[in-house]
Structure 1
Amino acid sequence: MATPTEQQQPKPAAAVTEEEETRKLYVTAADAQAFTEAVLRGNGAPADHARTVAECLVAADLRGVDTHGVNRLPSYMARVRAGVLDAAATPTLTQVTPAAAQVDGHNTFGAVAGGVAMQAAVDMARVYGIGMVSVKHSNHFGMSAWLVQKALDEGMMSLVFTNSSPALPAWGARSKLLGVSPIACGAPGGDDESPFILDMAPSVAARGKVYKAKRRGEKIPLDWALDAEGRPTDDPAAALEGVMLPMGGPKGSALSIMMDVFSGVFSGSAFAGHVTNPYDPSRPADVGHFLVAIKPDLFMPLADFRARMRHLYDRVVKESEPAAGVDRVYFPGEIEQRTERERRRAGIPYVEAEVRALNEEAQRVGAEAIRVSADGGGG
């Protein structure tokens, strides 16, 4: 049974033990949403922007993508306070053709600009079968799967691209140039419980995992990154000074270039290493995105499409014989769905240092501290 929910107050650094730094504190999805909205509103975000950004961040935490969750809030707010992210700006939509549009984010939150773009793509796809939207002058838009899920909620297939700040070298080079830019896509499944959701970085590991390890005082695997001298490192701080390693060598490098072509070059946003790091409050990020929504019944009746997806799921999950040491085979996105169900029940786990950083943001704007419980159970 969960312990009584309490207001988690920051502790002086000297009073925080190593055990406290690593023990888990649990927050319900509703409390995480309310807390995040309050901090965002306190930093000048309109209520609708605050709700959208909070939904995006909390969705990442619920799916276990902690690198893109509520812990991104301090970096977002630092950029707002520095004047390089406009919390109140409203994206504008320009219709280019009946099935293509462009969104100018006007330097607001990426989740807000991306949400406007995906809704426009869905609306066009309902009429024309496909809708595509290019987004310019945006910011970090959180977990790509959140936008994929937006399309799924409307019964649509989707492609979600973005570019990002330099972290990878071009294959054969040694300096940072390409972003660890995720490629994401989705399609309705044979039923609502088994959609296809792919969201992956072109690197061995997402750079957000390195930031998370640094925040938590953890080591990283030696095959994730190189330090500034080009040597494998398990120190996340050294990794952030060096370069991430692309998955599959030249294949990961080429995928990252593809993200820059479709998201940066095509949109008119920054590209070729000129996107600003989301933890750098010195200038606007100028991120670009590219989103496509597609009607799944464009070429066949929807019932046939769903039956074919059900067959694919069964072949992958139920009929594939697990390899040695593997309990079962999963469909892309299925593990995250299971994590979400568990975290909705037990709460989202954070460590002491993360809660302390969040509460410092709340204190800046006079918002209430985030409500936590000391064990899982939904608070």
Structure 2
Amino acid sequence: MATETQPQQMHLINHKDLESFVQQILIGNGTPEESAVIVSKCLVSADLRGVDTHGSNRIPSYMERIRQAALNAAATPTLCQITPVVVQIDGHNGFGFVAAHKGMERAIEMAKDFGMGMVSIKHSNHFGMSAWLVKQALDAGMMSLVFTNSSPALPVWGGKEKLMGVSPIACGAPSGNEARPFILDMAPSIAARGKIYKALRRGEKIPNDWALDKDGNRTDDPAKALEGVMLPMGGPKGSALSIMMDVFSGVFSGAAFAGHVTNPYDPSKPADVGHFLVAIRPDLFMTMEEFKERMDYLYKRVTESEKMAGVEQIYFPGEIEMITEEKRLMEGIPFAAAEVASLNKEADLVKVDHLKVQG
């Protein structure tokens, strides 16, 4: 049972210090420097955007998987060109961040030449926040689709056992100078499972409509929620979306599926996660300038639409996270005392300096 605790003291950490710290821990656990740079940037990107559930706090669970030989930190993904616009990648049980980064990189290259590029990835691992892959495509001026499957957390609609993953659906499109880009990154559950782990770490309760305990009752206790199941958003709609992620990321790729992906917090065996990535050139049917003008117009129509009672501002998908990033770049990233202690414990294991905190 979870016990009641008082909210913990919070510390602010500079993003550059955090990135360097995470890299050192990764390298200390046998990760090649090139891979450590990719992983650390992806994790800190999540911290900056306010997606703390998929940021640097994942390091202890990832490192435990390395120590238990459930994840091969030194693995190098291999690429197989299937057609001029399709590539399959075998992650060889390495970091999902590395396989997905290389996958999106190749998808972008194919899209530049042929208008689009599609990559399927098997034998991979958790790759954190999907939005970093969308941003990788945006930085290259590309639209994108980013799918992944994940370990069981949701029942299918009408069922009661954990079967489908809380697998994020992500996509993006660039805009012009007058709007923020479109970045969608959402789970098919009412809330991401990582938010429950975060609440558990910080001694906080969760809303009682997020999950059921093992007896099928609603709970605000994160420990009991993790023993039970997450609830899909929109009932059968969320359930269907989670199955869609399994079709495209698991069945299609040759990775694990149908409830057989291993939980990233379980160090007992490889996860065999599957990913599905698509990069698309926005100027296939019009000039890039026209496309961006149309995106700017869409942004304005959305954000300037008439507001319902009690709403002060309407945001474009991904905009709140971008605002959070701008703030945290200046002020630092907040971490609870227990989270800092957990990261410093990993630092002690590989004999690197403790994390610098600003307050």
TM-score, normalized by the shorter chain, greater than 0.5: yes
Q: CA deviation at 1:193?
A: 5.3
Residue by residue, what CA displacement relative to the aligned partner does 1:76-110 show, whole Å, maximum 9, x if unpaired? 00000000100000001110000000110000001
> 1:308 is paired with a residue of what secondary structure?
helix
**Which of 258, 261, 270 is matched with 2:244 structurally?**
258
> For 1:1-379, what aligned pairs fall within 5 Å after superposition?
22-191=8-177, 194-318=180-304, 320-374=305-359
- With over 3 angstroms needed to count, the CA separation of the structure-2 counterparts of 1:192 and 1:371, relative to structure 1, is farther
Return the TM-score normalized by structure 2. 0.98
Distance 1:324 1:179 in 2: 35
> 2:334 is paired with a residue of what secondary structure?
strand
For 1:95, the aligned partner's letter is Q
Distance 2:313 2:353 in 1: 43
- With over 3 angstroms needed to count, the CA separation of the structure-2 counterparts of 1:55 and 1:249, relative to structure 1, is same
Distance 2:318 2:197 in 1: 23
Distance 1:300 1:127 in 2: 16
Q: CA deviation at 1:328?
A: 0.6
Q: Tell me the residue number matched to 1:8.
A: none
Q: Is the 8 A contact 2:169 2:188 kept in 1?
A: yes
> 1:238 is paired with a residue of what secondary structure?
helix
Q: Is the 8 A contact 2:189 2:232 kept in 1?
A: yes
Distance 2:263 2:69 in 1: 15
Distance 2:43 2:156 in 1: 30
> 2:283 is paired with a residue of what secondary structure?
coil
Runs of 5+ unmatched residues, structure 1: 1-17, 375-379
Distance 1:193 1:315 in 2: 11
Q: Tell me the residue number matched to 1:5.
A: none
> How many residues are paired up?
356
Distance 1:67 1:322 in 2: 30
For 1:340, the aligned partner's letter is E
Runs in 1 of length 4+ with deviation above 3 angstroms?
18-21
> 1:114 is paired with a residue of what secondary structure?
helix
Distance 1:181 1:126 in 2: 28
Q: Is the 8 A contact 2:167 2:242 kept in 1?
A: yes
Distance 1:208 1:114 in 2: 20
Residue by residue, what CA displacement relative to the aligned partner does 1:187-228 show, whole Å, maximum 9, x if unpaired? 001238510000000000000000000111100000000000
Q: Tell me the residue number matched to 1:9.
A: none
Residue by residue, what CA displacement relative to the aligned partner does 1:266-299 show, whole Å, maximum 9, x if unpaired? 0000000000000000000000000000000011
Distance 2:267 2:215 in 1: 26
Distance 1:153 1:191 in 2: 14
Distance 2:270 2:146 in 1: 22
For 2:34, the aligned partner's letter is D
Q: Is the 8 A contact 1:21 1:353 kept in 2?
A: no
Distance 1:295 1:200 in 2: 23
Return the TM-score normalized by structure 1. 0.93
Q: Is the 8 A contact 2:161 2:229 kept in 1?
A: yes
Q: CA deviation at 1:21?
A: 5.9
- With over 3 angstroms needed to count, the CA separation of the structure-2 counterparts of 1:198 and 1:77, relative to structure 1, is same
Q: Is the 8 A contact 1:21 1:352 kept in 2?
A: no
Q: Is the 8 A contact 1:79 1:281 kept in 2?
A: yes
